[in-house]
Structure 1
Amino acid sequence: MRLRTLRALCGTAALALTLPVLSPGRAAAAVPTVSVYLQNYATGLNAADSGGTVAAHNPKGNEDHQQWIPVAVDGGHQLRSTDGSGVCLGRNGTSAVTATCGAAGTTWTVTAGADRTWTVSVPGTSQYLTGSASDSAAVQLGSTGDLARWYLTPVSYATSAMPSTDTRTLDQVTFLTTHNAYANGADGNFASFPVSLFPNQNQGISRQLSDGVRAFMLDDYAVSGRAVLCHNSCSGVSNPVPLATDLQRMVDFLKANPGQFVSVFLEDYAPSDVLRSSLASVSGLNDVLYRPDQEGVAVKGWPTMADLAARGKQLLIFSDRTRSGDTADGWATRDTFGVMYQREWTVENYWSMGGGIGGSDWSCYSRWGTGRPLTADSTAFHPLFVMNHFRDYPIGSTVQTDNGKLLNRVQNFCTPAARKKPNYLAVDRYETGSPSPLSTVGTLNTYVLAPGQ
């Protein structure tokens, strides 16, 4: 996807779930005794030791002191940093700080609440540890409320075996996903010089499908009344591939391979009438198009893969546009012709790990801000988790190294950040890396996270 400033996210989508729905609490639940992240319920940000103060940080493993061990002591619990420094979460007035374990102000009352959340309070008072909605802002003491609710997210999740093929649901499966799938240098022109020198993929869409890719990120623009695929813009791009051409390849593949499932993510710059017209030109699209909005998924949860296969519902299309944005522009809403608004159905981490070379940023936080954290969830409906793992520019040796570290980032950074396993792993040059991204997807499809964590 192109470098860009994200569109304004004002307006709440009709089906959007920004925060978990409350369920009955667990007053008798035992405080965990393993290493955890103190992760805010409302924002998804972690409490981190920041040079003696405690701040809300984007989840980043333990690279900036985000891991704690709850330890029972007289009068309550200590939250001890796992970095070996001998410091604990403490307080100084209304500020959260770190202090030597056992010093005044390092004992807390940790109490179970609803939806696997906890409160951390000053013993015998109504002062609660309270998060911030901004990265790097201070964690304070305050009153009760959503910002005073925390997950004790385990650093290492317990897992169980993947359910059988006839019972596993869509939200339990992981799919190999190609970032800028159309920018491959094989199917046609995708960008003007010099961007054209840096294809994100080496293989065309048909080869990607045959190799096991099952989700595709595509950037569509309106040119001469039809949706075409370009990187950054279509200016100076001769003969870009029409969106309908690549969708036809996918539909033909699905018709020839019953039981397979494909998802499309549109970075969507085309007016809705242009997109609708392009989709209408794809033969057989409506036969395989899956419509979660018409099946009550937001209330009932995702169907099984076996059910989708039996009904021949094999293709799910998302747009990164918003319902409110289309309405403000006077356009028809895209779900009227089967394109889902992604922010209503998924969560997604920020799309860049950094530049094409040099150090990388492995932090895992929401592309759409703290109003739609990666932890967004409910008791009935679990948003699908799109995990981006690529940089601004696809430099060959860097991509190969990054892809080889994909499983590490999934398990040690992004799974705890989202409190869920990724459903889509988006990479550049999917065939490179050791282990390969396809191998990583295979590993993830052997297990699910154990419930109740």
Structure 2
Amino acid sequence: MEKTISWVLLAAALILAFGCSKGECKVGDKCSSDQDCGAGLYCFSCLKKVTAGAICVRSTTTNQFQLLNNSLPFNKYAFLTTHNAFAIDGYPQHTPIPRVTETNQEDSITTQLNNGVRALMLDVYDFQGDVWMCHSFSGKCYDFTAFGPAIDFLKEIEGFMSANPSEIVTIILEDYVNADKGLTKVFTDAGLMNYWFPVSGMPKNGGDWPLVSDMVKNDQRLLVFTSISSKESSEGIAYQWNYMVENQCKVFSVHGLSEL
């Protein structure tokens, strides 16, 4: 009898802990395996600072061009963006000193793009005589904050764009590169200038962007923005705040995302 009661109590505890299972869990619900989560979701345990334990998260986005065709201006669509897209758990070490810095992603750049990400936030620095991706501070890259040469990440983007000729990708740079034409060189070497959307074609004063269909037809499918205003004139790289606005908000839990 005591064993029966113990098993009943254990089962009740598990139900209270997870509340759902066998494909019934929704986004933000606690889970113990991928099988607990509904269609298009998987069980994810990376967000330890935000959640206690694993929760169900969405693995891919909905293609907006399947919901609505690509005949509208570019600014009429919303695109999934990854913050510090380069700061990847387990990224190979490229310096003799172990990396001691925060990571934000589990997936490679290629996997992020394949899963529906269409805008990448990247931090670029002068380092070892080249342009590197670093998650650093005070405008300087160190061995222990470095991830790798920028060209390695940019070549992944080029590979995706070459294989997907109807896709548009946006890159938003937190820019600490002071080398003369340093960014121009690395984007050229990566083959990304072939898809470059020119500053001259960008709208002024909040006007509409070109039609997505025209951007694809003209193969001007890469939009690059920098945080350094002078590079718009010196390198033809758009200064982000001439073309963007930013909402200010704070989210203290994953469930809070549903309230935005």
TM-score normalised by the chain length of structure 2: 0.64
Distance 1:296 1:174 in 2: 17
Q: Does 1:340 align with 2:232?
A: no
Superposed CA RMSD = 2.8
Match of 1:279 in 2: 187
Structure 2: gaps (5+ residues) = 1-65
1:393-425 per-position Cα deviation (integer Å, ceiling 9, x unaligned): xxxxxxxx42x543431xxxxxxxxxxxxxxxx
The 1:290–1:186 alpha-carbon spacing in structure 2 relative to 1, beyond 3 Å, is: farther
8 Å CA contact 2:86, 2:147 repeated in 1: no
Q: Which has the higher helix share?
A: 2
The 1:190–1:257 alpha-carbon spacing in structure 2 relative to 1, beyond 3 Å, is: same
Q: Does 1:212 align with 2:116?
A: yes
Q: After TM superposition, give the deviation of residue 220 of structure 1 in Å.
A: 0.8
Match of 2:81 in 1: 177
Q: After TM superposition, give the deviation of residue 193 of structure 1 in Å.
A: 6.8
Q: Does 1:290 align with 2:188?
A: no
Moved more, 220-229 or 299-308: 299-308
Q: Does 1:311 align with 2:162?
A: no
Match of 2:57 in 1: none
Match of 2:133 in 1: 229
Match of 2:257 in 1: 406
Structure 1: gaps (5+ residues) = 1-161, 324-332, 355-359, 361-400, 410-453
Q: After TM superposition, give the deviation of residue 168 of structure 1 in Å.
A: 1.6
1:221 partner SS: strand
The 1:188–1:347 alpha-carbon spacing in structure 2 relative to 1, beyond 3 Å, is: farther
Match of 1:244 in 2: 151
8 Å CA contact 1:190, 1:229 repeated in 2: no
Distance 2:233 2:90 in 1: 31
After superposition, where does 1:133-172 map in structure 2 within 5 Å? Answer: 164-172=68-76
Match of 1:396 in 2: none
Distance 2:85 2:99 in 1: 18
8 Å CA contact 2:100, 2:145 repeated in 1: no
1:222 partner SS: strand
Distance 1:190 1:297 in 2: 40
1:224-279 per-position Cα deviation (integer Å, ceiling 9, x unaligned): 22110111142233863111221111122111101111111111111152222222
Match of 2:170 in 1: 263
Max Rg structure: 1
Match of 2:49 in 1: none
Q: Which amino acid aligns with 2:250?
A: M
TM-score normalised by the chain length of structure 1: 0.38
- Percent identity between matched residues is 28
